[in-house]
């Protein structure tokens, strides 16, 4: 059978960067084909060539046997190619229905006028939602939806007009396990109906559960295509990074010091209840739990974003009542957000300005900014974190997703904090850079820094932490020491359908 899509010798360069270099790719009809590669390898760019966002400098695109030129995203869409981007592209203030039919409204004639046919649109959507088992009202505003629901709307949008090719660029980065399972069921169902699917993810386990074949690209070049059933994680990683990697979680043994931070009866905003915890110097402390279990709220409360309503926080044994993020930062407590787009980086600024932004005072004397100092701080971080860019004047919006994440983490590290709170620090980051971030975390702990780390990837917490707290419904539901870590036990507590929350609420 003819391939659904054939790309041959695609080259695409940007000023100073060759993003794709003589790239080849074949998508068979009705298969789920994974693309993997390090941050900045060119995965998103390749897909943007397919969807008409970027015109290639050279190369050929063959769609179901016919050579085509794709001039823009709408053109791609009308040719049956739909994409779900790495960052969602829905309009927050608009309803689900308006988002779904933007630029392709269904209209009807009413006398001399052409008007929007809301009823027809709503009916069409409701049937698609039903097929996908999505229970979201089409009149809901996007801003009221969770990340997973937004992702589902994106998928529904992609399916409205019977796409033959569906591209998913890191769709699972911010989903919980159950949401991932639901998404996979939908994807498998689409395959059954003959849709050809491209799936991009840094989570290799997902490739092994879902995909039929996998193509690895490195530095914009084609490396390999394999049957998933005939390969393994080590082989893929070796293809991706160009060498063998053995140490994914380079945790070093560190002498744990005395108590640094303790929290008693912390609560607030209906989201946190009676939180007790203690943290010792040099410790790497993990927070596991489902989305919505209160982990981010706890981090934001500890770091002064949302001051607590109840309970107390002691730093070095003294009460710490941070009224702002800034105050916490001045006392050496720095938080790295999970929502990179909203608080983490400013995309239309360059790498250097993003990294040095919070430390303007440190690098200036009598109001004069020491630019040279700034560049040297930023350059050191770029090297240490392996941020893929020609120099630190490069705009953050032109970095690949994973490299933007590295800038967000660098910004906090450059402050030399005493306590660092990392919220999903390796989301969207490739295996190699992940190991690099883990190594840096581990070294920082060895030099006396204390780290609180929130992650939805249990293997990461289990690999890196000294202790793990499990959160559920805004409470601490369990705590494990390193020698007792077990993925099963932690999940069991995180998922348990207990009555803890109702009891807590009744007690308040």
Residue 43 or 411 with smaller CB distance to ligand ATP: 43
41 binds, among Mg ion, ligand ATP, none (CB under 5 to 8 A by kind): ligand ATP
**In sequence order, what E strands does 69-106 have?**
81-84
Q: Is 172 a binder of Mg ion (CB under 5 A)?
A: no
Alpha-helical regions (H) of 417-474: 431-446, 458-464
Which residues contact ligand ATP (rule: CB under 6 A)? Answer: 14, 17, 19, 37, 39-45, 86, 388, 398-403, 430
Min separation Cβ 428 and ligand ATP, Å? 6
- For the purposes of burial, counting CB atoms within 10 Å of the CB of 452, is it exposed (0-12), middle (13-18) or buried (19 or more)? buried
* Residue indicated by tokens 């069921």: 185
39 binds, among ligand ATP, Mg ion, none (CB under 5 to 8 A by kind): ligand ATP
Residue 205 or 312 with smaller CB distance to ligand ATP: 205
Residue 38 or 179 with smaller CB distance to Mg ion: 38
Min separation Cβ 168 and Mg ion, Å? 12
Min separation Cβ 57 and ligand ATP, Å? 13
Residue 57 or 484 with smaller CB distance to ligand ATP: 57
**Collapsed DSSP state (helix, strand, coil) of residue 352:** helix
Contacts for 81 with CB less than 8 Å, ≥ 6 apart: 5, 50, 51, 63, 70, 163, 164, 165, 167
- Residue 190 backbone phi and psi in degrees, to 5: -65, -40
Residue 329 or 389 with smaller CB distance to ligand ATP: 389
d(CA 421, CA 423): 7
d(CA 263, CA 130): 46
Residue nearest to Mg ion (CB): 44
Compute CA distances 275 → 254, 268, 294, 309, 334, whole Å. Answer: 26, 10, 10, 12, 20
Residue among 37, 268, 304, 401 that touches Mg ion (CB under 5 A): 401
d(CA 345, CA 430): 19
388 binds, among ligand ATP, Mg ion, none (CB under 5 to 8 A by kind): ligand ATP
398 binds, among Mg ion, ligand ATP, none (CB under 5 to 8 A by kind): ligand ATP
d(CA 361, CA 173): 35
d(CA 176, CA 173): 9
Min separation Cβ 401 and ligand ATP, Å? 4
Strands 66-68 and 32-36: unpaired
Min separation Cβ 303 and ligand ATP, Å? 26
Binders of Mg ion: how many residues, by CB under 5 A? 3
- State the CB neighbour count (10 A cutoff) for residue 233: 14
Min separation Cβ 42 and ligand ATP, Å? 4
Q: Is 44 a binder of Mg ion (CB under 5 A)?
A: yes
17 binds, among ligand ATP, Mg ion, none (CB under 5 to 8 A by kind): ligand ATP
Min separation Cβ 205 and ligand ATP, Å? 17
Contacts for 55 with CB less than 8 Å, ≥ 6 apart: 49, 71
Residue 34 or 313 with smaller CB distance to Mg ion: 34
């Amino acid at each position: 059978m003819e391939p659904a899509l054939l790309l041959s010798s695609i080259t695409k360069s940007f000023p100073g960067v060759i993003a794709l270099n003589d790239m080849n790719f074949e998508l068979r009809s009705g298969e789920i084909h994974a693309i993997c590669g390090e941050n900045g390898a060119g995965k998103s760019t390749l897909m943007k060539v397919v969807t008409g966002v970027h015109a290639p400098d050279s190369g050929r695109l063959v769609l179901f046997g016919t050579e085509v030129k794709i001039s823009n995203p709408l053109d791609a869409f009308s040719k049956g190619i739909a994409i779900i981007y790495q960052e969602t592209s829905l309009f927050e203030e608009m309803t689900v229905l308006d988002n779904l039919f933007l630029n392709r409204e269904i209209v009807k004639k009413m006398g001399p006028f052409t008007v929007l046919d809301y009823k027809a649109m709503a009916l069409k959507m409701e049937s698609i939602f039903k097929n996908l088992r999505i229970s979201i009202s089409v009149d809901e505003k996007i801003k009221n939806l969770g990340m997973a629901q937004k992702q589902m709307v994106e998928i529904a949008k992609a399916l409205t007009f019977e796409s033959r090719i569906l591209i998913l660029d890191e769709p699972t980065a911010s989903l919980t396990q159950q949401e991932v399972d639901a998404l996979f069921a939908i994807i498998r169902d689409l395959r059954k109906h003959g849709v050809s699917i491209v799936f991009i993810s840094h989570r290799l386990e997902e490739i092994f559960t879902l995909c039929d074949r996998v193509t690895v690209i490195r530095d914009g070049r084609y490396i390999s295509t394999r049957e998933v059933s005939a390969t393994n994680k080590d082989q893929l990683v070796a293809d991706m990074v160009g060498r063998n990697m053995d140490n994914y979680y380079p945790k070093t043994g560190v002498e744990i010091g005395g108590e640094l931070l303790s929290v008693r009866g912390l609560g607030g905003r209906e989201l946190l209840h009676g939180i007790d915890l203690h943290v010792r110097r040099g410790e790497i402390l993990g927070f596991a739990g489902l989305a919505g279990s209160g982990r981010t709220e706890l981090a934001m409360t500890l770091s002064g974003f949302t001051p607590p309503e109840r309970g107390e926080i002691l730093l070095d044994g003294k009460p710490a009542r941070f009224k702002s993020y800034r105050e916490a930062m001045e006392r050496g407590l720095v938080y790295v957000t999970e929502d990179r787009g909203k608080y983490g980086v400013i995309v239309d600024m360059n790498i250097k300005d993003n990294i040095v932004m919070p430390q303007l005072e440190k690098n200036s004397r009598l109001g004069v900014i020491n630019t040279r100092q700034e560049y040297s701080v930023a350059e050191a971080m770029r090297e240490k974190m392996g941020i893929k860019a020609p120099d630190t004047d490069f705009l953050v919006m032109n970095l690949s997703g994973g490299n933007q994440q590295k800038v967000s983490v660098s910004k906090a590290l450059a402050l030399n904090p005493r306590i660092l709170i990392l919220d999903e620090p390796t989301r969207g980051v490739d295996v190699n850079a992940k190991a690099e971030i883990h190594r840096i975390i581990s070294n920082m702990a060895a030099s006396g820094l204390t780290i609180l780390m929130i992650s939805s990837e249990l293997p990461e917490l289990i690999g890196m932490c000294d202790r793990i707290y499990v959160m559920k419904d805004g409470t601490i539901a369990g705590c494990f020491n390193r020698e007792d870590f077990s993925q099963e036990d932690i999940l069991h507590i995180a998922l348990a359908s207990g009555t803890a929350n109702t009891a807590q609420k009744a007690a308040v």
